C-alpha cells in the first residue's frame, strides 16, 4: 500500500504583497504544515508526494528559490518516507511566464477549431518556452522526467507517464494555451489539455501495464470545467455531428483513470461530475485570508483491495498554532471503492446475475413448475454465490415468474409488468437489489415495533 500526499497552489514569490499580515500568516501556515507532519500516524506517513501546480506566483526564475528551500526541508522531515524520486509535479497557471507575445487558441464555446493549431505532441514545442523557469526548478530539485513521444527533454517535464511505487501517473498540463497572469479571466473556457497528449501517455502506460494491474492516477492543475468545450463532455458531437468527439478529454479521463487530482480553486473537497474516477481537489496555503488551507493524504492499496479513506490537514488558528491531521468524514468518497476494476467487477457480477435469472426463468417457463420449485430456486441461488442483498431480489423475481407461469397455463392472455422470455432482457441492477433489501429491513423493523 502507498500513501499519497497531495498539495497544491503554494505560490512562492508573493511575499511582497502590500498586506502587512500576509507574510506572517503565510509563514505560520508553512511552519505549522512542517510541525504537524510528525503528528501524522505512522501508518499514514506518505511515501509519494503529488504537487498539482502553481509552485511559483508568476513563473519567474527567482521565485523558485523559495520553493526549492521548501521541498528540500520537506524531504528532511523526521520519519520522512518520501524521496525526491517519489515527487510528481504538474505545472499550473502561475508557473507560466510570458512577456510581449501571444498565441492563437480556441474561442470560448466555439466548435470551430479550424482557426487554431491542434494541440498535439507534434506542435506543443512552440509553447514550452513559457515554462522555462518551472522546468529549471524541477531539474535543480532532481525530479524525474515523464515518458512521452515528444522527443524533447524539456517537454518531458510538462506531460506524460510516470511509474512511481507501483502507481501509474498520468501527468497533464492545462496551461498550454495560457498567456500569463494578465490572462486569468480571459483564459477560462479557452484552455486545452490535448486529447492527443493524453492518449500518448495512456499508450505508454498500457505498453508497460497491459493488464492494468496497477492503479492509474491523473493529475493536472485546473478543474475540467475551465477547459474549452471541445474537451468536455458537453461537447458530445463534433462539427460533422459525429458522436464522441476525438478531442474529448473528460470522457477519456473518466473511462481510463482511477483517481484525478487537481488544484487551482484554493478550496479543498470534491466537485466532480465523474461517474467512475474519484476526484480530489486540493486547497492552498498561499493566502491565509482567502480559500482553504488544506492538503490531503489518501491511501492507494493493491488493485481490488481497499476503499477510499482520506486524511485532511486542518489549518491552524491564533489560539492553536499547529494544524491537525484528521480523517475527512465529509468526503463524498469515504468508503467508496477506489479502483475502476472494482467497479467493473460489480458490472460483471450484475451481468452474471442476469444470466442466472434468465436461465431459471426459462426453466420455469418451459412448464417445469413443480411442487419442489422453491427448493430448486434455493439451490440455484446457493450455487450462484450471490450476496445476501441480491438474494431477496432474486426470490421476489422468481416468485413472480412462477405465478406468471401458472397463470399463463390457465389464461394465455395473462401478462405481467416484468419482461421474461428467451429474447427479452431481464432487468436487474445492484441498485434494485439494494432497494428490495432496504424495503425488507424496514418491513422487519415495522414488525418489531
300-310, pLDDT tens digit by residue?
A: 655 544 556 66
Per-residue pLDDT of 53-96, as tens digits, reads: 999 999 999 999 999 999 999 999 999 999 999 999 999 999 99
pTM equals: 0.73
Query: Measuring CA to CA, how many Å separate 268 from each of 89, 176, 307?
Result: 18, 25, 20
- Number of Cβ atoms within 10 Å of the Cβ of 402: 17
Q: Taking 60 as the threshold, does the pLDDT of residue 370 lie above it?
A: no
Q: What is the pLDDT of residue 187?
A: 93
Q: Give the model confidence (pLDDT) of 224-241 as tens digits.
A: 999 999 898 765 544 444
Residue 337 has a pLDDT of 62
Using CB atoms within 10 Å of the CB of residue 30, give its burial: 0 to 12 exposed, 13 to 18 middle, 19+ buried.
Answer: middle
* DSSP assigned state of 218: E
pLDDT category of residue 160 using cuts at 50, 70 and 90: very high
What does pLDDT average to over the chain? 76
| Residue 416 clears pLDDT 80, i.e. is over it | no
The residue that leads in pLDDT, 207 or 267, is 207
> Minimal CA–CA distance to 166: which of 1, 342, 336?
1
Nearest to 146 by CA among 198, 69, 80, 79: 198
Nearest to 332 by CA among 293, 262, 274, 256: 274
Question: CB–CB of 90/58 below 8 Å?
Answer: no
- pLDDT above 80: residue 417: no
> How many CB atoms sit inside 10 A of residue 209's CB?
16
Burial class of residue 117 in the structure, from the number of CB atoms within 10 Å of its CB (0-12 exposed, 13-18 middle, 19+ buried): middle
Write down all domains in the chain, each with its CATH number in brackets.
Answer: 2-338 (3.60.21.10), 343-448 (no CATH)
Residue 292 — very low, low, confident or very high, per pLDDT cuts 50/70/90?
Answer: low
Amino acid at each position: 500500500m502507498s500513501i499519497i500526499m497531495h498539495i497544491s497552489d503554494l505560490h512562492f514569490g508573493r511575499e511582497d504583497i502590500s498586506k502587512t499580515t500576509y507574510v506572517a500568516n503565510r509563514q505560520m501556515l508553512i511552519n505549522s504544515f512542517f510541525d504537524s507532519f510528525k503528528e501524522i500516524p505512522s501508518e499514514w506517513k506518505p511515501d509519494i508526494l503529488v504537487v498539482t501546480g502553481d509552485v511559483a506566483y508568476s513563473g519567474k526564475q527567482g521565485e523558485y528559490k523559495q520553493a526549492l528551500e521548501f521541498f528540500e526541508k520537506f524531504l528532511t522531515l523526521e520519519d520522512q518516507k518520501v524521496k525526491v524520486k517519489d515527487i510528481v509535479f504538474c505545472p499550473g497557471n502561475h508557473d507560466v511566464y510570458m512577456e510581449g507575445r501571444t498565441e492563437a487558441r480556441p474561442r470560448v464555446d466555439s466548435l470551430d477549431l479550424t482557426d487554431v493549431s491542434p494541440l498535439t505532441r507534434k506542435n506543443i514545442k512552440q509553447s514550452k518556452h513559457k515554462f522555462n523557469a518551472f522546468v529549471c526548478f524541477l531539474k535543480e530539485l532532481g525530479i524525474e522526467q515523464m515518458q512521452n513521444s515528444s522527443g524533447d527533454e524539456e517537454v518531458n517535464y510538462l506531460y506524460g507517464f510516470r511509474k512511481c511505487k507501483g502507481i501509474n501517473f498520468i501527468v497533464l498540463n492545462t496551461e498550454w494555451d495560457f498567456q500569463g497572469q494578465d490572462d486569468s479571466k480571459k483564459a477560462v473556457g479557452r484552455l486545452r489539455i490535448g486529447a492527443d497528449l493524453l492518449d500518448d501517455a495512456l499508450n505508454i502506460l498500457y505498453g508497460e501495464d497491459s493488464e492494468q494491474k496497477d492503479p492509474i492516477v491523473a493529475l493536472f492543475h485546473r478543474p475540467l470545467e475551465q477547459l474549452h468545450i471541445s474537451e468536455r463532455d458537453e461537447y458530445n458531437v463534433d462539427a460533422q455531428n459525429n458522436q464522441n468527439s476525438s478531442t474529448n478529454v473528460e470522457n477519456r479521463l473518466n473511462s481510463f483513470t482511477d483517481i484525478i487530482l487537481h488544484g487551482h480553486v484554493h478550496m479543498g473537497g470534491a466537485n466532480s461530475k465523474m461517474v467512475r474516477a474519484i476526484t480530489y481537489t486540493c486547497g492552498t496555503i498561499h493566502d491565509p485570508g482567502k480559500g482553504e488551507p488544506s492538503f490531503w493524504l489518501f491511501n492507494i492499496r493493491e488493485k481490488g483491495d481497499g476503499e477510499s479513506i482520506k486524511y485532511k490537514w486542518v489549518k491552524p488558528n491564533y489560539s492553536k498554532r499547529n494544524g491537525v491531521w484528521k480523517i475527512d468524514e465529509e468526503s463524498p468518497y469515504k468508503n467508496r471503492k477506489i479502483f475502476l476494476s472494482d467497479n467493473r467487477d460489480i458490472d460483471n457480477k450484475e451481468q452474471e446475475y442476469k444470466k442466472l435469472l434468465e436461465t431459471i426463468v426459462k426453466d420455469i417457463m418451459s412448464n417445469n413448475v413443480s411442487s419442489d420449485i422453491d427448493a430448486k430456486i434455493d439451490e440455484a441461488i446457493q450455487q450462484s454465490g450471490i450476496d445476501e442483498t441480491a438474494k431477496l431480489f432474486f426470490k421476489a423475481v422468481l416468485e413472480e415468474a412462477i405465478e406468471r407461469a401458472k397463470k399463463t397455463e390457465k389464461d394465455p392472455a395473462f401478462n405481467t409488468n416484468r419482461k421474461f422470455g428467451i429474447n427479452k432482457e431481464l432487468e436487474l441492477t445492484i441498485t434494485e437489489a439494494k432497494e428490495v433489501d432496504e424495503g425488507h429491513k424496514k418491513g422487519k423493523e415495522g414488525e418489531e415495533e
